[in-house]
Chains A and B, each alone.
Chain A
């Protein structure tokens, strides 16, 4: 078990810089998720930690030891790949025991550890099969089994669930969480799926264009996004974000509509300042069909026309037009609505976010 530190980590291909000097400290036994859109450098970062990519600048420490120049096998890590990367010409048992065999472990020990891992992952009955005879979910479990038997300091997961269908993905997500509880080791998990990151990780690292936007617990990144990008990336459906200008205690939007300036931001903004106003669908709801998380005084009401609805059964997503844009809201205990209906909407401004239009950073004090 070990800590992992990235120090001013840089990756360049020729003259193109992909990762721009990122710093990150991962605690022992922590489950860290690197999340971001494709091309944000998260996989490259993971591969640098694994030793599969050279480091252009900076340092990586695993368990306090600088591993910059160590080959993957000397770093005591194991990795689970998106494509599973099982050896097709070996049985499940051989796949799982291969790394130990290479390390010249005694046969009995290999046998014991493979069986142990197989028991954890419920693979006992599949040990003599070949990868081609397994389903996607089973292959994924074998890939994890192969990682477990090495008893590594750090587990690296590279989008392990992306190749599975939605149902299996949810199931495997739970299994990964259980697995982490059982083996108690440091995990670095790369995904582009924010739901996976939110459900699995102790802390989430949100990356964009080779920079870290924010590091925080799922609750922190959801409730207190540090930047406009994080606000839009985390949460489903995404946060409503619109540019506005601060004007005499009000936020004036592009087409003339206005909202009261949320109280918590009043000390932090100046008149005339350009900002981005953000409100989650949960905090914008048809009046009487949502939960007010703050003071009643902070709830602003407005009557808006419905442009479209997406019923989900237990709730309905209502797209209502405000200032010329569709704003998505979450309607609990839904009742039927038609396009064009005018409904009373509640803006729970105590939960609103403001970001600087210039830098994209939060204006929270």
Chain B
């Protein structure tokens, strides 16, 4: 590998660019979080100032936690995200393994077909999906959301994981076969642990759009008992009056779970990379 040059101006330039990017990326989040702790007047008067003793106000959080079933919304979002993530990773990894490991007629075509979903946005099929859900009685259930998100996440997952699985050495799988492993055990005991970093990457890519999605919850599951957090937060955005305190507080709270999941996966990612050095 080429050695990074250590000249001072280059280092400063690189850090300046990275810092700028960090500021741009974090600014909206920071603004949301600091304003969620301020009174309504303070939000409009000095939107960029951090809360002071006079402007500090938890009214937003009180509204969010007091009004509506916010804990339920959280729970719904969590169930949908984790459920979809589990199914995407399980089925995606299995399909990727089959595509990477076995030579069968139509292997390439099957791979292309499964990757097609990356290029065609699933939202184009919203009407058909809604009809399908109505026909199968799944409207206003979390199952509907989990199914749709699983379908949405699978193509990218299969595409990325099959590339990684092709890199797992054939000898290793053959050694497993000689050691008496069934194909299922080769998949679960040998291949999955070795592609863990890729799994973590896919998990992060899959999770965030699901957590943030407003479209499908609004269309497929808008009932009170199945609202997700993003949908729930809309409660405070009215046509004429918007309860900014509550909106900002809800958004701040919504960041937390996804942040926790991200930390878990990124730790896996790092551990995966270091144990990947084993070869």
Residues on A facing B (Cβ under 8 Å): 47, 50-52, 71-73, 77-79, 81-89, 98-99, 102-103, 130-132, 146, 150
Say yes or no: A79 contacts B194, CB within 8 Å: no
Quick one: closest B residue to A133, CB to CB? B278
Q: How far is the CB of B263 from chain A (nearest CB, A)?
A: 22
- B172 interface hit (Cβ, 8 Å): yes
Which parts of B153-185 form the interface with A (CB within 8 Å)?
A: 169, 171-172, 174-181, 185
Q: List residues of chain B with CB within 8 A of the CB of A79.
A: 174-175, 178
A-B contact pairs, 14 of them (CB 8 A): A73-B178, A78-B178, A79-B178, A81-B175, A82-B171, A84-B171, A86-B175, A87-B190, A89-B194, A89-B275, A102-B179, A102-B180, A102-B181, A132-B277
User: Does B257 lie at the interface of the complex (its beta carbon under 8 Å from any beta carbon of A)?
Assistant: no
When distances are taken between beta carbons in the complex, the residues of chain B under 8 Å from A85 are 169, 171-172, 174-175
Q: Is the CB of B178 within 8 A of A77?
A: yes
Given the complex, which residues of A lie within 8 Å of B278, measured CB to CB?
A: 88-89, 130-132
B193 contacts A by Cβ under 8 Å = yes
If over half of B's interface residues share one DSSP class (helix, strand or loop), that class is named, otherwise mixed; here it is helix
Contacts of B179 in A (CB 8 A): 73, 98-99, 102, 146, 150
Inter-chain CA distance A336–B180, complex, in Å, is 60
Asked whether any CB of chain A lies closer than 8 Å to the CB of B10, the reply is no
Q: Which residues of A contact B180 (CB under 8 A)?
A: 72-73, 99, 102-103
Residues of B within 8 A of A52 (CB): 174, 177-178
Complex CA distance for A85 and B170, rounded to whole angstroms: 9
B190 to chain A, nearest CB (A): 6
Instruction: Enumerate chain A residues within 8 angstroms of B277, measured Cβ to Cβ.
Output: 132
Smallest CB–CB gap between A97 and chain B, Å? 10
Interface: B45 (CB within 8 A): no
Known: A73-B180, A102-B180. A88 touches B279 (CB 8 A): yes
Which A-chain residue is minimally distant from B179 (CB atoms)?
A99
Please report the C-alpha to C-alpha distance between residue A132 and residue B277 in the assembled complex, in whole angstroms. 7
B175 CB to closest chain A CB (Å) equals: 4
- Given that A85-B169, A88-B275, A132-B279 are contacting pairs, would A102 and B185 also be in contact in the complex, using a CB cutoff of 8 Å? yes
Cα–Cα, bound, A144→B178 (Å): 13
CB distance from B199 to the nearest CB of A (A): 13
- CB atoms of A71 and B174 under 8 A apart: no
| The one of A81, A88, A131 that contacts B194, using a Cβ cutoff of 8 Å | A88
Shortest beta-carbon distance, A141 to chain B, in Å?
15
CA distance A85 to B194 in the complex (A): 13
Chain B interface size, under 10 / 10 to 19 / 20 to 34 / 35 or more: 20 to 34
Smallest CB gap from B177: residue in A: A72
Of the candidates B177, B190, B276, B279, the one whose C-beta lies within 8 Å of that of A131 is B279
Which residue of the partner chain A has the closest CB to B276? Answer: A88
Chain A residues near B178: list those with CB within 8 A: 50, 52, 72-73, 77-79, 99
Residues in B neighbouring A81, C-beta threshold 8 A: 171, 174-175
Given A73-B179, A81-B175, A82-B171, 18 more pairs with CB closer than 8 A: A50-B174, A52-B177, A72-B174, A72-B178, A73-B178, A78-B178, A87-B176, A87-B190, A88-B275, A88-B276, A89-B275, A89-B278, A98-B179, A99-B178, A99-B180, A146-B175, A146-B179, A150-B179
> How far, in angstroms, from A42 to B220 measured CA to CA in the complex?
60
- State the Cβ distance, B276 to closest chain A Cβ, in Å: 8
Chain A nearest CB from B37 CB (Å) reads 45
CB distance from B219 to the nearest CB of A (A): 43
Considering the chains assembled together, what is the distance between the CA atoms of A89 and B177 in angstroms?
17
Residues of B within 8 A of A103 (CB): 180
Please report the C-alpha to C-alpha distance between residue A102 and residue B186 in the assembled complex, in whole angstroms: 11
- Would B169 and A83 count as touching, CB distance under 8 A? yes
Residues of the B chain whose Cβ atoms lie less than 8 Å from the Cβ of A130: 278
**What CA separation (Å) do A98 and B176 show in the bound complex?**
9
Known contacts A71-B177, A131-B279; decide if A83 and B171 are in contact (CB<8 Å): yes
How many whole Å from B191's CB to the nearest CB in chain A?
11
A71 contacts across to B, CB distance below 8 A: 177
Contacting pair B175 A73 (CB below 8 A): no
In the A-B complex, the 9 residue pairs with the smallest Cβ-Cβ separation, listed nearest first, are: A88-B278, A132-B278, A73-B180, A99-B179, A85-B171, A85-B175, A81-B171, A102-B180, A89-B193
B167 to chain A, nearest CB (A): 12
Residue-by-residue, is B245-279 near A (CB-CB < 8 Å gives 1, otherwise 0)? 00000000000000000000000000000011111
**Nearest CB on B from A327, distance (A):** 42
| Nearest residue, chain B, Cβ from A89 | B193
Chain A residues, CB < 8 A from B194: 88-89
CA distance A73 to B178 in the complex (A): 5
A71, B179: Cα distance in complex, Å: 11
Smallest Cβ-Cβ distance to A79: which chain B residue: B178
Q: Which chain A residue lies CB-closest to B192?
A: A89
Which chain B residue lies CB-closest to A53?
Answer: B174
* Residue among B177, B193, B277 with most chain A CB within 10 A: B177
**A78 to B178, alpha carbons, bound, how many Å?**
6
Distance (whole angstroms) from the CB of A50 to the closest CB of chain B: 6
What is the 8 Å Cβ interface bit string for chain B, positions 51-65, against chain A (1 contact, 0 not)? 000000000000000
A84 to B169, CA, bound (A): 11
